[in-house]
Structure 1
Amino acid sequence: MRIHVTELKEGDTLSNDTFNSYGLHVLSKGTNLFAREISQLFQHQIDYVDIELKPEEPAVIRTLESGLSPKWLPTVEPIYQDAVNGCEQLFMEAFHKGTVDEADVVQTFQPLVENFKMERDVVSMLLLLNTKDDYTYQHSVQVGMLSYYLASWLNYSEEEAIKIGQAGFLHDIGNCQIQDGILNKPDKLSSDEFETVKHHTLLGHRIITDSIGEESLAAAVALDHHERIDGSGYPNGKSGSDIHPAAKIVAVADVYSAMISTRVYQDKRDLLFVLRELYRMSFTELDPETTHTFIRHMIPNFIGKQVELDSGKTGTIIMTNSTEFFRPLIRTEDGFIDMAVDRSLEILHVYL
C-alpha cells in the first residue's frame, strides 16, 4: 500500500526499497519503521513509501485514520461517555452525602486508562469526543485523562500516574456544592460570584478528606490545583514548592482542557494558540518543567495536520521542533518551509 510519510505509524514495514530524488538508497525493503527511520524519510524529502498492509487492517480503514473519523472513535466514545455519566453520579453522591466512594472512582476511571493509554493522537481524541453538553463532567474526565498522560510523561510509575489521573478526575468535585446558576453563567461572574466559585477548592478538599482521608493525594490536588507558582492563585496563595507536585500536573491539564472546551459562551480556541498560552503561563503561573513536558509531548500530535500560515499559504506539518515548539517543518504545494529558519512566518490556524 502506498501512503504519504505523514500517515506512517511506528511499526509499519516497507514493502519496497526506498530511494530519494537523487537515487540514493535510503531504506531497504522489510525495514520496520520507527521514529528514527521515519525521521530519515523526512530528512531525505521522501513524500510517499510502500508499506505492507497488515491482514487485519483494510486499506479503507488506514486511509480514515488521518481524517476526522478515526477508526477508534466508535470504540472509545461509549467508554468516554460512560466515564462522563459516572462522573455525574459521583458529583450527585457528593452533593447528597458529602462523600464519594473510592471504589466508584476507580471503577469509573480505570476503563479510561485501560482503553486510552495507547492512543497517540491526544489532540484529535479530545476534540472529537468533546461536546457542548455536560461541560462540568466532561472537563473532569478530560483533566483526569490528561493528568494521567502528563504524569507518565514526567516518568511517574504507572501506579503513581493512575493515582494522579484519579486526582485530576476528582479535582473539581467541590463544584457539586456550587449553584448551577453560577457555574454555568454565560456572562462574566461578579466579584461575589467568583469568590463563591473559588470556594470549590475548599469544598472539594473537605469532601475527599471525609471520604478517603486528609493525607490522600486527591485531597491535596482538590485544594491546590488553582494555586500558582508566582503566588497569584487560590485559596491560600501558595507559591513554588509549597504547592503539591501532583497539583502542578493537574493545573496544567485543567487549564488546557478549559481552554479547548466548547462551552456555549466560549468559542473553541485554536489548539496552537492554547499551547502558546500555556507556554506563556509557564514563566509565571504554571510549573515550567511540567508545562514544557506537556507541550513537548502534545506538539508531535500536530504532525500530519493541515495549517494556514499568515502568508496565506496552506500546508501540512511533517516534523516538529523539539526546542522551538511552535516552528515546525511544513510541506506546501511549492516545497518545504522550515519555520525555525524562516522566522517571518507564523501559523494562523491548525485544522484538526
Structure 2
Amino acid sequence: MRKIDVNQLEEGMILGAPIVDSEGVVELLSRGTKLTKRHIALITQMGPMDIFILEHEDEAFEEIEMNVEDLAQKAKADGKAFDLEKLMKDLDEIDQHIYEPAQRSLVNANMEVNILTGEFDLPIDVRHEKTIEDNKKIFTQIQEDGVLDLNRIRKNVEKTLPDMVRNNDVLRRLNQLKNSDDYTFEHSMRVSILATMIGKWLGYSQEELVELGEAGLLFDIGKLNIPDFILKKPTQVDLEEYELIKKHAQFGYSILLKTKGVSSNIKYAALHHHERMDGSGYPLRLRENQIHDYAKIIMVCDVFDAMITDKPYKKGISPILAADYLSWSSGKLFDSKVCYIFIKKLSEYYLGKKVKLSNGQEGTIVFIDGNYPTRPLVRVGNDFINLIKDRSINVEILE
C-alpha cells in the first residue's frame, strides 16, 4: 500500500484505505473500491487529502491496530487534554455488549404520504429558536455530566415536527439553520430534519416521525466519547485515529442503553447508521435487512449533510454532486427506496436554480429527467448542456 495525492489518481486504482469526509467520520468509499471517473471527480471536489492505494490487485489489506496508549502520548506531545482512563473504560464497556438483531424492516413501510402542516412559513431557526437553544443545552449537559434528558428531547421534537416536515424544499430547510461552532450539534439537527422529511415521504405515522426525529438528534451522541483532539483535528485524521472514531456508533448505543425510556428503534439507529447494504460498513458489518430501517434513513441524511456542509477549513461539495453520489451508491451502500424518494423530492426544487458548471460556465437548470434527476439540462446563454450526455461536467447550485 502506498500514499498518493489527489492529482495522482487514475481509473482502476484500488483503495487500500477508506475515503472519509473532512470530519473523519463518514466513510464515503470503502477500502477495496476500484476507482472510476465518478469516484475521482468526487474525491477531487473534496480537496487535498492523503489517499492510500494498493500496489497491485492481489495485495493484502494492511490491518490497522488501534493503540490508545499511543494516542495518549500523541495528545500529551501536542498539549491536548485526554482522559485515557475514561476512554479505556468506555472501550471495555462496548466490548462487553451483546448486539441483538434489529426488529424492524423497511419492506413493511407504507409509501402513502401523510401530510403534516405547520403554522405560517417562518424559517425553522426563527420560529423555534428557543427550542433549538434548549436542544443545544441538552447536548452540553450530556457532555458535562453524562445525563441525557430524553423527555426534553421528545417534547422539543414534538414542538418542531410540523414545521420540520411542512415544506418539501430540502435545501431551503437546511439553509434555515444558523451556522454553529458546534458541528456535532448542528449536524444532528440537520439530520433530524432530513430524516423526518424522508419519513413523511415514506408514509410514517406522526408517532414514528417523532421517534425518527429523536433518533436523528441522538444518532451521533457517541462522538461525545471521542477525544476532542481527534474529533476536532484541523487536518485529516490518520488511519489509527480513524479506528477510534469508528467506535462512536457503539459508544452511542452504550449511552442510549443506559438512558431510561429510549426505544430500541433509537438505539439501533445509533448503532447501525454506519452500516452499509453490501456489508462494507461498521461496526458489525451488517447487510441489507439486518440493518434497522431508521438507520437506513439516517445514513443517507448523515452522508448527504456531511458532504454539502461548509467547514471552517473546507467548503462542502455541490448538493447535486452529493445526490449523484447517493444515486450511484443506491442499492449497494444505501437502501434504494430511501435514495429514490430523497433524490426525487430533492430534484423537484432544482428547476429554475442558477448553477455553475465545473467548466466555469454559469447557467440555469431548465429540465430534470426523472430517470436521471442529478444530471439536469442547463441553459447557458442560448446554448443547452445536457449533463446526461456529458458526465465529465459537474454542477453546483449558486442560490
Normalization by structure 2: what TM-score? Answer: 0.63
Matched, 1:236 2:310: no
**Contact 2:169–2:349 (CA<8 Å) still a contact in 1?**
yes
- Tell me the distance in 2 between the aligned counterparts of 1:87 and 1:183: 21
- Cα deviation, residue 311, structure 1: 6.7
What per-residue deviation string (whole Å, max 9, x for no partner) do you get for residues 288-313 of structure 1? 22112211111112122112346765
- Cα deviation, residue 329, structure 1: 4.2
Partner-residue secondary structure (3-state), 2:373: coil
Match of residue 397 from structure 2: 350
1:82–1:172 distance in 2 versus 1, CA, 3 Å? farther
Match of residue 273 from structure 1: 321
Alignment of 1:161-200 (within 5 A): 161-200=209-248
Matched, 1:255 2:306: no
- Tell me the distance in 1 between the aligned counterparts of 2:166 and 2:323: 22
Match of residue 220 from structure 1: 268
What per-residue deviation string (whole Å, max 9, x for no partner) do you get for residues 239-291 of structure 1? 11111111000000011111111112321211111111111222421112211
110-119 or 293-302, larger mean C-alpha shift? 110-119
1:83–1:275 distance in 2 versus 1, CA, 3 Å? farther
Match of residue 372 from structure 2: 324
Counterpart AA for 2:218: L
| Counterpart pick for 1:306 among 345, 354, 369 | 354
Match of residue 127 from structure 1: 175
Counterpart AA for 2:316: K
- Cα deviation, residue 339, structure 1: 3.0
- Tell me the distance in 1 between the aligned counterparts of 2:316 and 2:128: 20
Counterpart AA for 1:229: M
**Contact 1:330–1:339 (CA<8 Å) still a contact in 2?**
yes
Instruction: Compute the RMSD of aligned alpha carbons.
Output: 2.6
Counterpart AA for 2:171: V
Match of residue 88 from structure 2: none
- Structure 2 stretches lacking a partner, 5+ long: 1-119
1:72–1:304 distance in 2 versus 1, CA, 3 Å? farther
- Structure 1 stretches lacking a partner, 5+ long: 1-70
1:88–1:227 distance in 2 versus 1, CA, 3 Å? same
- Tell me the distance in 1 between the aligned counterparts of 2:137 and 2:360: 48
- Cα deviation, residue 174, structure 1: 1.4
**Contact 1:178–1:200 (CA<8 Å) still a contact in 2?**
yes
- Tell me the distance in 2 between the aligned counterparts of 1:79 and 1:294: 25
Match of residue 206 from structure 1: 254
321-330 or 217-226, larger mean C-alpha shift? 321-330
- Cα deviation, residue 123, structure 1: 0.9
131-140 or 240-249, larger mean C-alpha shift? 131-140
1:86–1:319 distance in 2 versus 1, CA, 3 Å? farther
What per-residue deviation string (whole Å, max 9, x for no partner) do you get for residues 150-181 of structure 1? 11112222321221121111101112222222
> Sequence identity of aligned pairs in percent?
30
What per-residue deviation string (whole Å, max 9, x for no partner) do you get for residues 34-74 of structure 1? xxxxxxxxxxxxxxxxxxxxxxxxxxxxxxxxxxxxx956x
Q: How many residues align?
A: 279
- Tell me the distance in 2 between the aligned counterparts of 1:314 and 1:189: 35
Counterpart AA for 1:120: N
- Tell me the distance in 1 between the aligned counterparts of 2:273 and 2:344: 22
- Cα deviation, residue 319, structure 1: 3.7
1:228–1:130 distance in 2 versus 1, CA, 3 Å? farther
1:257–1:309 distance in 2 versus 1, CA, 3 Å? closer
Counterpart AA for 1:265: Y
Alignment of 1:93-108 (within 5 A): 93-108=141-156
Counterpart AA for 2:352: G
Match of residue 339 from structure 1: 386
**Contact 1:143–1:253 (CA<8 Å) still a contact in 2?**
yes
**Contact 2:165–2:197 (CA<8 Å) still a contact in 1?**
yes
Alignment of 1:27-106 (within 5 A): 75-79=123-127, 81-106=129-154
1:157–1:128 distance in 2 versus 1, CA, 3 Å? closer
Counterpart AA for 1:349: E
**Contact 1:229–1:238 (CA<8 Å) still a contact in 2?**
yes
Match of residue 208 from structure 2: 160
- Tell me the distance in 1 between the aligned counterparts of 2:380 and 2:143: 54
316-325 or 132-141, larger mean C-alpha shift? 316-325
Partner-residue secondary structure (3-state), 2:355: strand
Partner-residue secondary structure (3-state), 1:117: helix
**Contact 1:100–1:211 (CA<8 Å) still a contact in 2?**
yes
1:86–1:197 distance in 2 versus 1, CA, 3 Å? farther
